[in-house]
């Protein structure tokens, strides 16, 4: 069974064993507005927790997407290049950014649970 | 710009924006709608296909009052490079307030009222963020007998898009035969309004000035129409960028001249020949010899938008300019930008590089506008 953990910067990581799918939350996409461009890393790139992993651009502005945990990029969602609107329509599904190999599982403990994240979003909106 | 902690001003339509579910942001000291629930992309497309309604009440409206048209027009001509003397009654013209060195203090619209009873008056619309400075600048330089009268108690709305004419003429048939850049006083279902056929989107449309007390009633009349959606500042920016229009403080400022900004068309022949406006010598020299840099359109070849501040280089890596406005053009279907390049690189089709996040992205200099203007001539 997979569990999903969240950052304060509104990234999620859906953990499955020693890999995880990274994307941005529904709250993040609603704040960004219409996404028009995504810059994804190359497969094989080493990510550091909190470091820049991708760039997402809405009509308004460019925003960084940070790595929720350290690890290595295994695969990126190439469909986003032609159809970045998937990030708005289905951020937790078709709008995923990348799959990573988790470098240090203990870093997951520093992230928020679903319940904590929902409370966090409520507190800032 | 609003400082943190400063109380934001509200336009007479503020409650309408909040009720419509707009996302409000600080802009030029006002709490303004950046987008409504439709979202920037759809608001942009709606305006290009139907009719978008914009609250632009934050902009500065003023009378320039003098004893007769020639006196008032000549007084304004000492501050701007456009021909004001030969404005016909009911005609509107775009111009710029200039520094002594020919830099742009603000860009503005000027109307000579059609009503002979208003002879000696010019109606001005200036940018929100610059209005206090503009009025002070003008007041300090106007001759005795010509003065600025601020119209802070008026609201301003823009109705833009191919269906704007059907919507407005349905409420007020006499706007139907107005042409681009003309003005009229009309009655819109019992509301007295000053209407110009103009805008900032590249589409046919109107800007409508009414007393602040009538703003909500007019907003309600217009938004009641199926073809009309309220449109926020986000889409206003992408629409004007595609239309090739300058945004003050970004594409033009006190360091850019109208010639560098490719606004030559806004300086009529008589003024070029006679001079008598600030920065005349520089502007004439730039017209005849060409400016050192020029504002151009830019089409990135990839999908990555190039934002304001992006460095422009030659394919060999020599820096030749900077992007002043850039983003995604919904009607173009890709990124668009404008910026300044050294004049040798300003020809449409010239290959350039945009340095986006440290990487060189290929792009081409492009003709402006990106989307064809569709005015009622």
Do both B194 and B217 map to the same domain?
yes
Give the residue numbers spanning the domain of B316. Answer: 292-366
Dist. CA A90–CA A84, nearest whole Å: 10
Do both B61 and B200 map to the same domain?
yes
User: Looking at beta carbons, which residues of chain A come within 8 Å of B335?
Assistant: 36-37
pLDDT at B84 over 50: yes
Tell me what pLDDT residue A1 has. Answer: 56
C-beta of residue B94 within 8 angstroms of C-beta of residue B109: yes
If you average pLDDT over residues B24-35, what whole number do you get? Answer: 97
Domains identified in chain A and CATH numbers: 3-124 (2.40.50.100)
How close, in Å, is residue A35 to chain B by CA atoms?
Answer: 9
Dist. CA B198–CA B91, nearest whole Å: 11
Tell me what pLDDT residue B105 has. Answer: 98
User: Looking at beta carbons, which residues of chain B come within 8 Å of A55?
Assistant: 357
pLDDT at B246 over 60: yes
Do both B149 and B136 map to the same domain?
yes
Do both B221 and B311 map to the same domain?
no
Task: Report the mean per-residue pLDDT for chain B.
Answer: 97
User: Looking at beta carbons, which residues of chain B come within 8 Å of A61?
Assistant: 307
Tell me what pLDDT residue B261 has. Answer: 98
Tell me what pLDDT residue A61 has. Answer: 87
B375, part of any domain: no
**Chain B contact probe: residue of A27, A34, A42 with most B CBs at under 10 A:** A34
Tell me what pLDDT residue A43 has. Answer: 96
Looking at chain B, the whole-number percentage of residues with pLDDT higher than 70 is: 98
Tell me what pLDDT residue B245 has. Answer: 98
B371, part of any domain: no
Taking an 8 Å cut-off on Cβ atoms, the answer to whether B328 and A57 are in contact is yes
Tell me what pLDDT residue B93 has. Answer: 98
If you average pLDDT over residues B163-172, what whole number do you get? Answer: 98
Do both B87 and B195 map to the same domain?
yes
B17, part of any domain: yes
C-beta of residue B240 within 8 angstroms of C-beta of residue B40: no
CB-nearest partner of A59 from B41, B303, B304:
B41
Hey, which residues does B123 pair with through a beta bridge?
Answer: B63, B111
- Number of structural domains chain B divides into: 2
Looking at chain B, the whole-number percentage of residues with pLDDT higher than 90 is: 98
Residue finishing a domain among B232, B259, B290: B290
Q: What is the ipTM of this complex?
A: 0.87
Tell me what pLDDT residue B2 has. Answer: 42
**Residue-wise burial string across B295-324, b where 16 or more C-beta atoms lie within 10 A, e elsewhere:** bbbbbbebbbbbbbebbbbbeeeeebbbbb
Region at B248 (left for phi over 0; alpha for psi -120 to 50; beta for the rest): beta
Taking an 8 Å cut-off on Cβ atoms, the answer to whether B40 and A34 are in contact is yes
pLDDT band at B240 (very low <50, low <70, confident <90, very high): very high
Region at B302 (left for phi over 0; alpha for psi -120 to 50; beta for the rest): beta
Closest listed residue to residue B28, CA positions, set B130, B155, B150, B156: B130
Do both B284 and B323 map to the same domain?
no
Residue B305 belongs to domain with CATH number: 2.40.30.110
Q: Is B139 exposed, middle or buried (0-12, 13-18, 19+ CB in 10 A)?
A: exposed
**Chain A contact probe: residue of B24, B238, B304, B323 with most A CBs at under 10 A:** B304
pLDDT at B40 over 90: yes
Taking an 8 Å cut-off on Cβ atoms, the answer to whether A60 and B335 are in contact is no
Please provide the DSSP assignment of B173-187 as one string.
GGGTT--TTBEEEEE
SS3 B234: helix
Tell me what pLDDT residue B1 has. Answer: 43
SS3 B326: strand
Do both B279 and B185 map to the same domain?
yes
Tell me what pLDDT residue A2 has. Answer: 73
How close, in Å, is residue B213 to chain A by CA atoms?
Answer: 33
Residue B44 belongs to domain with CATH number: 3.30.1360.120
Q: Is B74 exposed, middle or buried (0-12, 13-18, 19+ CB in 10 A)?
A: middle
**Chain B contact probe: residue of A34, A52, A59 with most B CBs at under 10 A:** A59
Q: What is the pLDDT of residues A3-50, one digit of tens each?
A: 999 999 999 999 999 999 999 999 999 999 999 999 999 999 999 999
Q: What is the pLDDT of residues B183-233, one digit of tens each?
A: 999 999 999 999 999 999 999 999 999 999 999 999 999 999 999 999 999
How close, in Å, is residue A37 to chain B by CA atoms?
Answer: 6
Dist. CA B234–CA B37, nearest whole Å: 12
Taking an 8 Å cut-off on Cβ atoms, the answer to whether A36 and B357 are in contact is no
Q: What are phi and psi of B51, to 5 degrees?
A: -150, 125
Tell me what pLDDT residue B5 has. Answer: 54
Q: What is the pLDDT of residues A46-71, one digit of tens each?
A: 999 999 999 999 998 899 999 999 99
If you average pLDDT over residues B34-44, what whole number do you get? Answer: 97
Do both B271 and B326 map to the same domain?
no
Please provide the DSSP assignment of B77-138 as one string.
HTT-SS--TTPPTTBEEEEEEE-TTS-EEEEEEEE--SSGGGTTEEEEEE-GGGHHHHHHHH
Give first-to-last CA distance, chain B, whole Å.
36
Instruction: Please count the residue pairs, one from chain A and one from chain B, whose beta carbons lie less than 8 angstroms apart.
Output: 42
Do both B162 and B305 map to the same domain?
no
pLDDT band at B172 (very low <50, low <70, confident <90, very high): very high
């Amino acid at each position: 069974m997979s569990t999903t953990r969240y950052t304060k910067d509104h990234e999620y990581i859906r953990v499955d064993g020693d890999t995880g799918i990274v994307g941005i939350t529904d709250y993040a996409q609603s704040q960004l507005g219409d996404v028009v461009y995504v810059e994804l890393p190359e497969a094989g790139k080493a990510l550091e927790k909190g470091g820049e992993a991708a760039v997402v651009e809405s009509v308004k502005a460019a925003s960084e997407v940070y790595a929720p945990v350290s690890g290595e990029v295994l695969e990126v969602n190439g469909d986003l290049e032609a159809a970045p609107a998937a990030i708005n329509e289905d951020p937790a599904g078709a709008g995923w950014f990348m799959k990573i190999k988790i470098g240090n599982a203990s870093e997951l403990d520093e992230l928020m649970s679903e319940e904590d994240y929902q409370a966090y979003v409520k507190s800032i909106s | 710009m609003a400082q943190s902690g400063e109380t934001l001003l509200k336009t007479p339509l503020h409650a309408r924006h909040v009720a419509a579910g707009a996302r409000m942001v600080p802009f030029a000291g006002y709490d303004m709608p950046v987008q409504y629930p439709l979202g920037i992309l759809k608001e942009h497309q709606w305006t290009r296909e139907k009719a978008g309604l914009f609250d632009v009440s934050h902009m500065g409206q003023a009378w320039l009052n003098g004893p007769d048209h020639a006196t008032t027009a000549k007084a304004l001509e000492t501050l701007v490079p456009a021909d004001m003397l030969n404005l016909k009654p009911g005609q509107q013209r775009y111009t710029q307030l200039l520094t002594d060195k020919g830099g742009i203090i603000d860009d503005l619209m000027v109307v000579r009222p059609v009503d002979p009873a208003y002879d000696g008056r010019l109606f001005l619309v200036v940018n929100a963020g610059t209005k206090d400075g503009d009025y002070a600048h003008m007041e300090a330089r106007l001759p005795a007998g010509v003065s600025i009268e601020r119209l802070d108690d008026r609201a301003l709305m823009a109705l833009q898009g191919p269906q704007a004419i059907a919507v407005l003429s349905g409420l007020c048939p006499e706007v139907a035969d107005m042409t681009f850049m003309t003005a009229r006083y009309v009655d819109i279902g019992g509301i007295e309004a000053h209407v110009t056929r103009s805008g900032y989107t590249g589409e046919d449309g109107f800007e409508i000035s009414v007393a602040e007390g009538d703003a909500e009633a007019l907003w309600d009349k217009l938004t009641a129409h199926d073809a009309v959606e309220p449109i926020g500042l986000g889409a206003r920016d992408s629409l004007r960028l595609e239309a090739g229009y300058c945004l003050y403080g970004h594409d033009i400022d006190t360091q850019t001249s109208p010639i560098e900004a490719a606004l030559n068309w806004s300086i009529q022949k008589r003024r070029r020949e006679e001079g008598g406006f600030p920065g005349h010598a520089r502007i004439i020299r730039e017209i005849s010899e060409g400016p050192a840099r020029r504002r151009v359109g830019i089409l990135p070849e990839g999908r990555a938008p190039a934002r304001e501040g992006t460095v422009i280089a030659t394919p060999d890596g020599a820096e030749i300019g900077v992007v002043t406005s850039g983003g995604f053009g919904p009607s173009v279907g890709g990124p668009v930008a404008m910026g300044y390049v050294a004049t040798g690189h300003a020809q449409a089709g010239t290959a350039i590089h945009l340095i986006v996040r440290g990487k060189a992205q290929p792009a081409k200099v492009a003709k402006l506008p990106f989307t064809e203007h569709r005015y009622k001539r």
